[in-house]
Each structure stands twice: as structure tokens, then as C-alpha cells.
Amino acid sequence: MKSLEELKAIRERVQSSINIRNEGGADSTRVVVGMATCGIAAGARPVLAAFVDEVARRKLEHVMVTQTGCIGICRLEPVVEVYVPGQEKVTYVKMTADKVAKIVSDHIVNGKVVAEYTIGAAE
């Protein structure tokens, strides 16, 4: 170890992988992927993977990607719900891995809900 910068580089490299262990708290955005049998069968797993990747790539520290069971609209799976603190939750349906990047950049980062992917647009 030669300098504090070197130490900082290691810290930053590892920190992003350890952040998962902070329970986030009230100010973090939660991305919840439906991962019951119906969700997985419809392809929720790659969607979840894409969210984890995208969040890590952008180094978004206050975003927690997690999973939940079946919420009852199996025909619209994979379902993803995004909870931004202080706002109504947004439900995205018939998700694919390709749609993930847009949701992260438009909705989570810039605060603009991607209306065409939401449950309102699908119904």
C-alpha cells in the first residue's frame, strides 16, 4: 500500500458490492421483481438480473433491487414495481430485460415514469 488513493480505489471497488447489506432506509428506491412461479416462468429472472446489473453499472447507491412473490396478475408477468420514496408506486408489466435500461435511466434516475410499460398502458 503506497497511498491513501490506492486504499480509496480498493474501497470504491468493493463498496458497491457491499452496499447490498445496507437495509437502505427511508430514502432508498426499491425495485421489486415478482419472482413467484408465474413470474419466473414468464422470464422474471433475466429481468431481475438486468436491474441488478444496470444499478451496479450506474453506481446507484440508494436503489435496492429485491424480489417478491405473486401479486395476483399472473397474466401480466413479469411484473416489476418501483417504489420511489414519497411517490405512488409504479407497476411495470410484461417486462423484459431490454426494457430495464430505460426504466432505470428515465424513471429511477430522472424521475420520469415510463408510461408505455406500466400496467395502465397494458390494460
Task: Give, rounded to a whole angstrom, the gap between the first and last alpha carbons of the chain.
Answer: 58
Rounded least distance, CB 116 to other proteins, Å:
26
Q: By C-beta, is 85 or 120 nearer to other proteins?
A: 85
Q: How far apart are CA 74 and CA 76, in angstroms?
A: 5
Beta-carbon-side half-sphere exposure of residue 40 (alpha carbons within 13 Å): 6
Q: By C-beta, is 37 or 87 nearer to other proteins?
A: 37
Rounded least distance, CB 120 to other proteins, Å:
24
Rounded least distance, CB 112 to other proteins, Å:
25
Binding site for other proteins (CB under 8 A): 1-4, 7, 10-11, 13-15, 17-18, 20-21, 23-24, 33-37, 40, 48-49, 52-53, 56, 64-69
- Cβ contacts of 73 within 8 Å, gap of 6 or more: 79, 93, 119
